[in-house]
Structure 1
């Protein structure tokens, strides 16, 4: 009987989510209220909720209850887009809060990727990126100061970095060598992104180039695992 009741509760909740009764990013009613609405016990309700969680339809927070995941963002195949462009293409409002903006010496690995001398000055910009008020990504960008000195003092709140590089530094990003991997959020990243410590995040590392092959930017992006999808066209060799 419990299995049947759990399935019915699951199907009802799935229908409610499909028709938009609970909006992306919203919190479901408390378990006691939800169980009463569905006419099942809390134990039965939890079976249905756990099933929805395993399918990625719901997200659980130990402190705050059950949530509908925020809208997933994805990059069109083979297309290089800035965060701002991705958000606007989906009808969402992009935001950017500057956490660090400074000139410092380049590390050995950074210098090699940017083809500059070790310890050469670079501009580092750390920003918390969001969509419609929801934190989605912690973004770190490093650019050689001799190519983008204006970046050190520019107002980078709620603007596209690509736009600033083009308009104030004369740099047009043409392509990006991008790698993606998964890891767990530490306590500080979890605090910034509004997720639980240990929750999955997708980490993207890139080196961006101008059309003549000059490296102009290193990026290190950490996305909420429930809010980002990377897409690509894959081809077999002849």
Structure 2
């Protein structure tokens, strides 16, 4: 290994260790190349090799005008597997967080009643939560549940807890499948503030109806994900002729 390669490998190791220890939190900008090279003890050309390697691994992102940024870790559902946000995060070694913004008992809207297969104006429980990874906001979740099946959740502490697990433990309801769609939107003012985004930034909007083991609808919901923090995966098959 040449002297330059050794220096680049050492710079990479130092920066990778700093990222792992959280010296530079997700979404933050790294110091300028001149200052960072001095901190690491290499030339700017050698530093750029290390930065490019980290970018290739998805740990860093580069903006031509603004410099280098620490990439946000992404969550995404494994193909064909239904998981709660909490389960997805923990499966990837991340710490899920959840702040309950409101819990409201109210009549269902006509659209909600249709999606949940209930009479109009039947009682529902609406739960709004801000979800995060290691305290960084990732998504804004609004869930509407049939009150006659999920009433026990009205007084439950859902902070940092999987809703699927709470449904199973407190209500005796086991989630089996979800009908799920995803669309891209520009974020509006209030969710932008909660998700720490500029107004108009891209978000992914997931809309679902979730069913139990008897194929009865349990909940319907809408989740706004930061566009830089969520990836949706699916298995696609061509029909056999």
- Measured against the shorter chain, the TM-score band is 0.7 to 0.9
- Name the residue aligned to 2:228: 226
Q: Distance in 2 between matches of 1:173 and 1:18?
A: 45
Stretches of structure 1 lacking an aligned partner (at least 5 in a row): 1-11
Count how many residue pairs are aligned between Structure 1 and Structure 2: 217
What is the TM-score of this pair, normalised by structure 2? 0.78
Q: Distance in 2 between matches of 1:123 and 1:65?
A: 45
- Name the residue aligned to 2:183: 181
Stretches of structure 2 lacking an aligned partner (at least 5 in a row): 1-7, 20-24
Q: Distance in 1 between matches of 2:132 and 2:59?
A: 21
Q: Distance in 2 between matches of 1:102 and 1:200?
A: 28
Does residue 141 (structure 1) correspond to residue 143 (structure 2)? The answer is yes
- Name the residue aligned to 1:28: 29
**Alpha carbons of structure 1 residues 26 and 198: separation in structure 2 relative to 1, 3 Å:** closer
- Name the residue aligned to 2:210: 208
What is the TM-score of this pair, normalised by structure 1? 0.79
Q: Distance in 1 between matches of 2:207 and 2:195?
A: 18
Q: Please state how far the C-alpha of 1:102 moved relative to its aligned partner.
A: 0.9
**Alpha carbons of structure 1 residues 233 and 96: separation in structure 2 relative to 1, 3 Å:** same
Matching residue within 58, 77, 82 for 2:61: 58
Q: Please state how far the C-alpha of 1:74 moved relative to its aligned partner.
A: 1.5
Q: Distance in 1 between matches of 2:158 and 2:185?
A: 28
**Alpha carbons of structure 1 residues 118 and 100: separation in structure 2 relative to 1, 3 Å:** same
